[in-house]
Chain A
């Protein structure tokens, strides 16, 4: 992914900043500028999420995506934040620890890099929230 393309959403990825529609009180992460429920009647504002959530579904990826070979096997999951929205992230732990319904909390981690001398991309991954499981 190009530097500019990553940089545009850097704040959203680093700090779990999405959006909130004031009209219908629905939260969005990844951020949306048009509320799918209200469309033109929507009133969108920026919203910083608390962070914790739970695993909706997951997989352990053995054949890695390009650039992720060194991480395999890794747990990819759909996370539901406590405010409601769902998004895709990794759960960083022994893959056998992951299960549907697992409570997780965010951690700041490296996501990838553009080759040996390129930009390093950071963002939010998740770890089991052992105080809440």
Chain B
């Protein structure tokens, strides 16, 4: 297998973009990543696009072809383009497919992108589309919502480890602070623990400020074999590991309700692949679709003992400048969560951090970063490790 490097990245703004279409935003991200990489689009050997539910959000399937077409890569060039789906982990999966294509030697210059346009439907319809990431026949039919499933994880975590609502709120407060320093973030406002605790209850114990929002956005990056990456950029970022794991589709079938075993397994595989341990990681973007999810993630990825994620957050150890900065982008909570784009956005954020391009939210001396992307309530997890040095 060949080493692989990221040579160009781009996030669109994240938020409610009434004036822009699905194809507008993904083309902006793709063209931006190509410009950043210094290649020309016709040199691409393939494209992999993460998208959860074009069918339900914009009544559009055949996403791969649409994107190649509107990127100007179809009519004469006929560049292959593949849509990849694993609910909210679609972006992370698209990246992994792209890395494998380059690592195998089958393709050289490859784009990995992610996109979701969620605000063209009502919030009820968007919630119903997201609920399809759970088990429709045995969870959805009983009235389960996504916040409801993560609320049951939170209840269990509180019961087993004494995690508090204040500790959950501390995740949102920290991520809004990080988001306030990220120009593309959906929410740049600062919030307090009291703001979170006084916001409306969605599914006990999760308040609306414990939940990531509904977001439009797209992200893209360009990969090249590491051996030739320096031909395109002075700051290639190397892919040290890309790992994926599966777990039961329904939350009720998990070994432990308060642990995402898929995160544990993908993390373990990634550390082995990179020959690293959690102590080697300088920053991590985790899948904080709900505040409890960030607490589980930092535990399941080995940054803190199981059960102590809430305390670690409350103690400020996951803030920029802390022991392990978590979600410098603002995370899904403040940067926004266009589900298919999120996994790629995390990689763009870590790439920019490792290049030293992150302005006021820069993690000083960042050499190695991790991303963690989850589908559904934990049925798919993708963990990647990037590094500044090969």
Contacts and interface: CB of A to CB of B under 8 A. Distances in A.
Contacts of B71: none
Contacts of B203: 59-63, 76
Most buried by A among B137, B148, B152, B154: B148
Contacts of B273: none
Nearest to A89: B142
A61 B251 contact: no
A37 B156 CA distance: 25
B145 A88 contact: no
B139 A57 contact: no
Contacts of B200: 62
A30 interface: yes
A9 to B, nearest CB: 7
Interface in A51-74: 56-66, 68, 71, 74
A65 B138 contact: no
Interface in B273-303: none
Given A60-B204, A100-B155, A65 B251 contact: no
Interface string A100-122: 10000000000110000000010
A19 interface: no
B155 A88 contact: no
A86 B205 CA distance: 22
Contact of A62 (B138, B144, B204, B252): B204
A131 to B, nearest CB: 24
B140 interface: yes
Contact of B143 (A1, A5, A74, A87): A74
A123 interface: yes
B155 A65 contact: no
A66 B141 contact: no
B204 A59 contact: yes
A96 B131 CA distance: 26
A11 B205 CA distance: 34
A59 B152 contact: yes
A30 B141 CA distance: 13
B145 A65 contact: yes
Contacts of A77: 152
Main secondary structure of the interface of A (DSSP, over half): strand
Contacts of B153: 57
A59 B155 contact: yes
A1 B141 contact: yes
A78 B252 contact: yes
A85 to B, nearest CB: 8
Contacts of A62: 200-204
Contacts of B151: 59, 61
B217 interface: no
Contact of A86 (B141, B142, B252): B252
A125 B253 CA distance: 18
A61 B141 contact: no
Interface in B212-262: 250-253, 257
Interface in B101-159: 124-125, 127-128, 131, 136-145, 147-148, 151-156, 159
Most buried by A among B127, B144, B156: B144
Most buried by A among B137, B251, B257: B137
Interface in A19-71: 30, 56-66, 68, 71
A55 to B, nearest CB: 10
Nearest to B204: A60
B141 A78 contact: no
A65 B127 contact: yes
Nearest to A125: B142
4 tightest A-B CB contacts, nearest first: A59-B151, A60-B204, A57-B156, A68-B143
Given A56-B156, A65-B128, 7 more contacts: A1-B137, A57-B153, A58-B155, A86-B253, A88-B138, A88-B139, A100-B159
6 contacts: A61-B148, A63-B145, A64-B143, A76-B142, A76-B152, A90-B143
Interface of A: 1, 5, 9, 30, 56-66, 68, 71, 74, 76-78, 86-90, 100, 111-112, 121, 123, 125
